[in-house]
Structure 1
Amino acid sequence: MKNIFAEKMTPFRMIIGAYVFSMLLFSLLLWLPISHQPGHELTYIEALFTSVSAVSVTGLTVIQVSDTLSAVGIAFLALAMQVGGIGIMSLGTFVWMVFGRKINLSQRLLIMVDQNQYKFSGMVKLMRNILLLALGIEAMGMLILGTYFLRYFDSTWEAYYQGGFAALSAFTNAGFDVTGQSLIPFAEDYYVLFVVMTLIFAGAIGFPVLMEVREYLTNRERFNFSLFTKVTTTTYFLVFVLGAVSIWALEFGFYYDGMAWHQQFFFSMFNSATTRSAGLSVMDVSAFSLPTLLLMSGLMVIGASPSSVGGGIRTTTLAVMFLTIRSFALGRSDVKVFNRQIDPEDKQRTFIVISFFIVGLLAAITLISAFERGNAEVELIDIIFETSSAFGTCGLSTGLTDDFSTPSHVLLMCLMFIGRVGILVFLFSVKKKETKSHYRYPTERMIIG
């Protein structure tokens, strides 16, 4: 029986199980009366939804965090965001190291799967560096924002509490807030917006990129950036710029009508950055026009970089897709970029990820539309936006998440979960063991397109 269980529990399934366990654990902690403010209670479904949203670093919520959760509940929520943001295996590795345990081969394999890596070597060192770098960035963000917030809040404790939670939420791209209004109170403070955007970039650009940048700064002469860093960084900031320009063009003369040019500039940049996975807002998103909401849904689908705190199809998937289309249009069978050739397996994985995401998103939109057909307050664009936000683990909302029915909430939880663990990890967890074929059929061409 033990051997059968060991065969069934592949590293991918163990990662899935670890995230499920974490979500259930934090749901119970958030459900405890000690986690609620006096006069407020959470149903278990509300606690579970909040837990899944926090561990998946999404930010969609069916409760008002600042009004519902006590200091203990907010501490549990922050811990859930940290676990989801840095990754279960990163924190697990830290615990193993603290207690002096040796990291064996199976544990290194789990780390490799959790961080979407391809090789065993340097896994423990990578986890240690990720943890220290993440905590360092969060601490710096808390110090900068907390000190600056002294002008907004009466007490030093409140200023650093707000600054610390905002820094954690921004870096982990979790999207939760304890202001009750996200970043709307600071919408005209460009310093706060710039710091938060920087933290969002740091969390969403990918831990391998941060590691390489740190190594480059210490050894500029002998260091060469990897193909992954070049592709994901180029794609991330290219989509960011195009997103900001597109949001400005679509809202110029509409929501932005009467705004000063600098406010339009920062609003466009911030909304382009936050739709990539962060979920923090400086305005009522539902005030945007229909084309902008569709554009932002597309940006949430793209998401952040691989091996980061963000979700979505990821930047490298988008890049490989367009590079493959470009190579086909030029009559080339191979895909080349930055003097390197893309592995055919990566092209296959790109097709699988995009196909699964599109089919899953359309299925979810259809099902939620069926669940909410009697809800007059919910329109199709709201369903598209909320579904894209959940699947892309972004957390932006038109404000109707709480109005959805329980079946819709369950479906959104499933989307957030798959978005956090990653589509490939999810698919590998249900994939059957490969068997060697002893014969081959004749090949025949299909008519495509």
Structure 2
Amino acid sequence: MNTQISEIYSLRSALDNGSVTAKELSETAIRRATAADDTFITIAQDTSRAEASDRRIQAREIRSPLEGIPIAVKDVINTADLKTTMGSNVFADYQPTQNATLVQQLDDAGANIIGKTNTQEFSYGIRGDSGAFGVVTNPYDPTRIAGGSSSGSAAAVARDIVPLAVGTDTAGSIRVPAALCGVVGFKPTFQLLDTTGIFPLAPSFDTVGFLASTVQDIAVAMATLLREKNMSEALSAPNLRYAVLEDNLIYGGPGLKDPHALEVVNSLCASRVSHPVGSGTDFNFMELYNVVRAREAFLIHEPYVTQMPEKYQPDILMRVKAGETISETQVAEAQDQIAKAALVYEQAFANTDILLSSTVPIEAPLLHEKASSAEALMSQCVIWNLLGWPAMTIPYWISDSPLPRSLQIIGKPGQDAKVIAAGTHLEDLLNTGVQGRGITSTPRSKTPIA
């Protein structure tokens, strides 16, 4: 049984019993967002949608568990009533005429978008420290990065501005900032959620997902979008077969070495797995990703870098232009290798439901530590974008460090519910979630109104 307190369900209860209104929740979130000046690019000022939620709640016409809940959306996702800048001067004043499909689904469900979160320019980077609207700092240590590219979405949840935020993940861009900011991040199966109306980085890998305080909050969001009436069966999925994934199978990182996490993981896997994971493969996933991503990103950005290169951040412009040298033959060869890898991994883990690994092999780097940290941050995540498998990161804390630690939970394509079920179980075992998080940079209150 999951003992973590779902922030969405807590707010849902307060809304339904009349102890707080959707308008009050939105006003509080807007006030907190305004105070966190690095986290948001655009903040809503109109509370009419929240007021409409209040009328529906009073009339008992609640459309979903998200009715009246304030949420935030990464600023590469189109919103018809808020600017969508892509974190870039190229689109600094861009106002979409219609919502992205996912935004419309959330709007139809009654969620209230209170702002657009800061992002690495065009989602092009894992550190989250290069964009036209400033750098999102780590909520636990402002001298460190928050991770990217969904940095603002992770910080918005970590700073208790919203209980749920939307992000995108092409090579770890939900999971890495979630891990560094101490929140839950979920990348669903590739193409499970519609990305129409979201500015692409590399369409072969781009995935939209969520960041939240608890796994149950992720479950609420996914169930709402997928129109699943009840997630209780998925969340209590029994007899999942777990395996610890040796990190050298992915990239050769230092691995999951925290004693507390290892104790939990090893005890769980000992009771679920009859044989260990096998040895490594010949696939260089980082290289395969770099080839496809570089070429696809260049083709998307070619008109803009030709017409207005001066509006790009210098490092992003350099990355975009690098893709011009990648040939279609190289891309085809890389895609062929990725397809072969998918078959190898499907066969290798045919008798396993859930794989466990570290999410990031290093602590949140200091803002000035740029050398080699980007590749290290992606090293445990990028493979699951290439293969299209669902993956979640959950946080936990140890007594001798103020920075969060994280565990990555990986499932088979289409088995997102099993990943969520495993997440709820491990969240309890690691004693993570909203309890015990001591962010000092922003006052934290778990009451609906601060």
What TM-score bracket applies, with the shorter chain setting the length? under 0.3
More helix by share: 1
Work out which of the two has the higher radius of gyration on C-alpha atoms and give 1 or 2.
1
The structure whose residues are more often strand, as a share, is 2
